[in-house]
C-alpha cells in the first residue's frame, strides 16, 4: 500500500498499486505530472523514480488557487 497525501484538499489515500514507477502510479491515479510536484521524505522525485509499497508520497499542486 502506497500512502499518498494530497496537499490540495489535505486528504490521505492508501493506494493498492502494483505500479513500479512514479509515472505509472500517477497514471493510475489520473494525475497529470504537469500539474503536480511529488515529494518523498521531503525530497522532490521525478517520474522515473521507483516506487515501493511502504512509500509515503506528498502530492503538491502546481496550479495557483485563485
| Segment 26 to 65, residues that bind another protein, using CB under 8 A | 32-35, 37, 43-48, 60-65
- Rounded least distance, CB 9 to another protein, Å: 9
5 bridge partner residues: 12, 58
The residue behind cell 505500479 is 19
Which contiguous run of DSSP H or E holds residue 27?
A: helix 22-29
**Least distance in angstroms from the C-beta of 50 to another protein:** 12
Which parts of this chain interact with another protein (CB under 8 A)? 7-8, 32-35, 37, 43-48, 60-66
Amino acid at each position: 500500500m502506497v500512502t499518498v497525501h494530497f496537499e490540495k484538499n489535505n486528504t490521505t489515500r492508501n493506494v493498492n498499486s502494483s505500479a513500479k514507477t512514479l509515472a505509472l502510479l500517477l497514471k493510475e491515479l489520473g494525475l497529470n505530472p504537469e500539474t503536480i510536484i511529488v515529494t518523498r521524505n521531503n525530497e522532490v522525485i521525478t517520474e522515473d523514480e521507483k516506487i515501493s509499497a511502504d512509500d509515503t508520497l506528498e502530492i503538491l499542486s502546481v496550479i495557483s488557487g485563485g
